[in-house]
Structure 1
Amino acid sequence: MSIGRRLKEERERLGFTQPAFAGLAETTKKSQIDYEKDATQPKAGYLAAIAEAGADVQYIVTGVHTNRALSGDEQELLALFRAATAEVQATIMAGLKGGVCLSSGAGRQNQRGDDDQRSA
């Protein structure tokens, strides 16, 4: 997918018309159309302005979404994970891969429930 197509996708995701999106960056509707048709490439000032409105500029340019696409809980989880020690990260990964619930003994409770079902 091209930069222009991703730009249009982001504009539509944010609910802007072409003139309104162009206005965010103090450019014209024609420039916006040209960007979306890949006739010209947007400049850094334009990209900075639309980023302020919530556009995922990394996605527009590279096709890879930034963390903004994550929910608040996902962003917090990622920040906490990155700040954790390697040992804590390994425990978290093991828990997620194994489906183990590590809070309040719930994992043990679930395990007992599974054992009870197998013996029934």
Structure 2
Amino acid sequence: MTDKSTFFIRLKEIRKKMKLTQAQAAEICGVRQETWSRYEKGTLSPGMDVLAAIAAAGGDVNYILTGEYSFIKTFSMTLSGEQVDAITATLSEREAKLLDNYRHIADEEDKRTVERTALMAARPTSKESESKTKVKRAG
């Protein structure tokens, strides 16, 4: 269940992250600015149509509702005879902030440094490798 007090704080956070004024957010969602203001104050709850409009405009409704950021990895595949274009996975707040920081690195060399560091951190240590080898031999 969503904590109402943080729900309205997160709604405002997402609006600001989208670089929208209250009036612009209200227009996108098809409501008056006064109504949007009441959403952010917590005196009125937005309906599904408003949340759908936020999502369509690129806002992270999962974060608004749960406090967990979403990450969408887009690719095409056929699933049960239907074409699927996107799969959504949830990121923790820490992971989302790390990804957001990476995306805002302007210098390409700095990005490559972060990428190399992440690859090195993801490599198993020699003790982890030995442990996996012992498990394979035992099985």
For normalisation by structure 1, the TM-score amounts to 0.57
Matched, 1:66 2:70: yes
Q: Give the partner amino acid of 1:66.
A: S
Task: Name the CA distance, whole Å, in 1 between partners of 2:25 and 2:125.
Answer: 44
Runs of at least 5 residues in structure 2 that lack an aligned partner in the other structure: 75-86, 88-120, 127-139
Give the structure, 1 or 2, with the largest relative contact order (CA under 8 Å, sep 6 or more): 1
What whole-Å deviation, never above 9, does each CA across 1:17-48 have from its counterpart, x for those lacking one?
00000000110111111111111111000000
Q: Give the partner amino acid of 1:3.
A: F
**Superposed displacement of residue 97, structure 1:** 4.7
Structure number with the higher strand fraction is: 2
Work out which of the two has the higher radius of gyration on C-alpha atoms and give 1 or 2: 1
Task: Name the CA distance, whole Å, in 2 between partners of 1:4 and 1:24.
Answer: 18
Task: Name the CA distance, whole Å, in 1 between partners of 2:30 and 2:125.
Answer: 50
Aligned partner of 1:38 in structure 2 is 42
Matched, 1:50 2:54: yes
- State the number of aligned residues: 77
Matched, 1:96 2:100: no
CA RMSD of superposed structures (Å): 2.3
Q: Secondary structure at the match of 1:41?
A: coil
Structure 1 residues 3 and 98, CA gap change in structure 2 (3 angstroms): same
For normalisation by structure 2, the TM-score amounts to 0.50
Matched, 1:28 2:10: no
Structure number with the higher helix fraction is: 1
Q: Percent identical across equivalent pairs?
A: 32
4+ residue segments displaced more than 4 Å: none
Runs of at least 5 residues in structure 1 that lack an aligned partner in the other structure: 69-74, 80-94, 101-120
